Homo-oligomer: A and B are copies of this chain.
Amino acid sequence: MLPGPTNVPNRVMNAMLAPIINHRSEDFRILYKRIIEKTQKVFETNGDIILLTTSGTGAVEASVVNLIKKGDKAIIPVNGEFSTRLADLIDSWGGTAIRITAPFGENPPIEKIEEAFEANKDVKALYAVYNETSTGTTIRYMDKLGNLCGKYGSFYIADAVSILGGDELPVDKWNIDICITASQKALAAPPGVSPISINERTKKYMKSNVSPILYLNLNRYFKYYLEHTETPFTPALPLYYAFDEALNLVLEEGMSKRIERHRICADAFYSSLSTLGLTPFAKEDARSNVIIAFNYLDGMDDKKFRTLLSEEFKVLIAGGFGNLKGKVFRIGSMGEVTRYHVMRTISSIYSAMKMLGIDANEKALSIAEEKLQNL
């Protein structure tokens, strides 16, 4: 129950054993094309898709180093570790990040973002971390940010690394120019490949603005796909096979059913853990359906609690990140999460709390069961 990598179904794991083929052959081209087309369905986009052999960070960086030039301004809501890191990257790459900050666990009001556009008419791009893994916070006005970018003529980049496949994200409908995710989160594949979508106008811009980098140079990937249906550099073939099979599972379930399943599981977690006596870290209108973060009660030691969960109950969850270390715990409720996972996690948390001598309301379990009826 980690915030990634998540559990990978056996069908997906076993797919890795397919033969190592030549990545300059027709067999590979058929595989790659199939992956791209399925990813387009999952992203709900007609734009280009590129599959990078990197972690999500590599793909996020690609969205910066191929777009941002020296002095370019980029607006970015900052309310956690990953949005901070992205803003810092924009700066270190020579751009100017305009940070719209909010306390961790909250999103900045969208009005503050519009004000930043008003005050900086030459803003080139808006970067938004859709789901802040470090705090369990999701931006709930991603669609409106697309409208803002349209109004102010800015590129719109969505970092959806830890959420795509687990919550709504119709890339074209929301006017997202670049969308990034990773294999090992809500898509439930092993880590190591990261898809990125780019629409026509952004591709066109990149074509006329050459970047000095090589491995993350998106122009090379476009060119190789167009001319050869191949990747410019050797792909991580077993992970391509696995990702292909993970996409099959996603499409067999259907995106809307999958998103609803995540919503129901998240609802069960929030209601049930609150009943136990815990309080969610994120404000209600910003709560994530894929990363469930809760504050520790007094006397709940992070290490003791998570060691109990792991050793006594074989349930792995994550602690806090950076400043939140020791203050919150985080559950990844994404990918293959079902009634079994939710109930087992909640009952283990209940027991661990009891073992630590903390009062916990056992009604939490029936409340979760009730919420999960709708699955």
Contact = CB atoms under 8 A, between A and B. Distances in A.
Contact of A236 (B24, B239, B316): B239
Contacts of A236: 53, 55, 190-193, 236, 239
Given A54-B53, A239-B239, A234 B182 contact: yes
Interface in A6-65: 6-8, 13-14, 16-17, 20-25, 53-58, 61, 65
Nearest to A92: B212
A119 interface: no
16 contacts: A8-B20, A13-B17, A13-B238, A20-B190, A53-B55, A53-B191, A53-B236, A57-B215, A61-B215, A85-B214, A92-B210, A92-B214, A192-B192, A193-B236, A236-B239, A238-B242
Contacts of A85: 214
A213 B213 contact: yes
Considering the complex of A and B, which 6 residue pairs feature the smallest CB-CB distances, nearest first? Answer: A192-B236, A55-B234, A58-B215, A55-B233, A57-B233, A191-B234
A17 to B, nearest CB: 6
B20 A235 contact: no
Interface in A178-237: 182, 184, 190-193, 210, 212-216, 232-237
A314 to B, nearest CB: 11
B22 A2 contact: yes
A61 B17 contact: no
B191 A237 contact: yes
Nearest to A211: B92
Interface residues of A, number: 52
Contacts of A54: 53-54, 58, 215, 233
A235 B57 contact: no
Interface of A: 2, 4-8, 13-14, 16-17, 20-25, 53-58, 61, 65, 85, 89, 92-94, 182, 184, 190-193, 210, 212-216, 232-239, 242, 316, 318
Nearest to A16: B16
A5 B61 contact: no
Given A13-B238, A16-B17, A57-B232, 15 more contacts: A5-B234, A13-B16, A20-B190, A53-B53, A53-B55, A57-B214, A61-B213, A61-B214, A89-B214, A93-B212, A182-B234, A191-B236, A192-B236, A192-B238, A239-B239
